[in-house]
Amino acid sequence: MNNADEEGIRLQKVLSQAGIASRRAAEDLISRGKVKVNGERAHLGQRVDTSKDIIHVSGKRVVTDVDKVYFAINKPRGIISTMEDDEGRPSLAGIAKGIDQRVFHVGRLDTDSEGLLLLTNDGELANRIMHPSHGLPKVYRAQVAGIMDRATWNKLLKGVELEDGLAKADKLKIIDEHAGQSLIEITIHEGRKHIVRRLMDEVGHHVSRLVRTEMGPVKLRNLKPGTIRRLTPNEVGELFREVGL
């Protein structure tokens, strides 16, 4: 046994505490070569330093720092995307008041928009998510005026020139059409201000309601407006993989 194995915490215990698997199941993962520590295949009996060792299970990063927290929040309409507001307007802090750690929001939604935001105290992950080079896809449901024709559909997928450059949808889906309005699902990977509303206005389909339902691997699911939930270890691992951590 080398010095690295004489110190630290047993790897299977770390994986268990991180919610990845029971200790016995963790031992099986290690035996089958599914676990890597600092890029090297792990072995049974190995000990790790959770403050500096980087662990992957089946290619997904495992967060071992117990001080790091990751939450999804469903922002209601009328709430501003800040943790506090000098003017006393309703903010995210009122929804996140049950979180002990000091967290910040990842991404923004305008006051009239609703849906998924992430809250964390992990600055490195937050910076990666927000950096344009990673292009984390975001999915929105938008209630828009009018019935969209095929020419408009193709234009949105090809690209629309806005005042600050070309913007386009990565994917489009019609959910419903009724009474001269359409409910669409639009996937877009960039985060320019009001990008979905501006894109739809440019093609003549004004957005009356906008809800973000997904950010990368994280989905809103059945999270009620004005509530939060802790991300699962799998969601956090997928986020890390999406941004190259």
Note whether 129 and 135 are within 8 A (CB).
no
175, burial (CB in 10 Å: exposed 0-12, middle 13-18, buried 19+): exposed
Note whether 207 and 143 are within 8 A (CB).
yes
Please give the share of the chain, as a percent, with pLDDT higher than 70. Answer: 98
Does residue 140 carry a pLDDT above 70?
yes
Report d(CA 175, CA 180) in Å as an integer.
14
Look at the pTM and tell me if it is higher than 0.95: no
| 90 closest CA partner among 99, 81, 98 | 81
Which of the residues are catalytic? 110
The token pair at 99 is 């979180």
Quick one: average pLDDT of 103-120? 92
- The pLDDT tens digits for 70-95 are 999 999 999 998 888 778 788 898 88
DSSP states of 107-169: S---TT-EEEEEEES-HHHHHHHHSTTT---EEEEEEEESPPPHHHHHHHHH-EEETTEEE--
- For residue 113, the model assigns a pLDDT of 96
Q: In degrees rounded to 5, what are phi and psi of residue 95?
A: -85, -35
Which range of 18-27, 75-84, 153-162 scores highest in mean pLDDT? It is 153-162
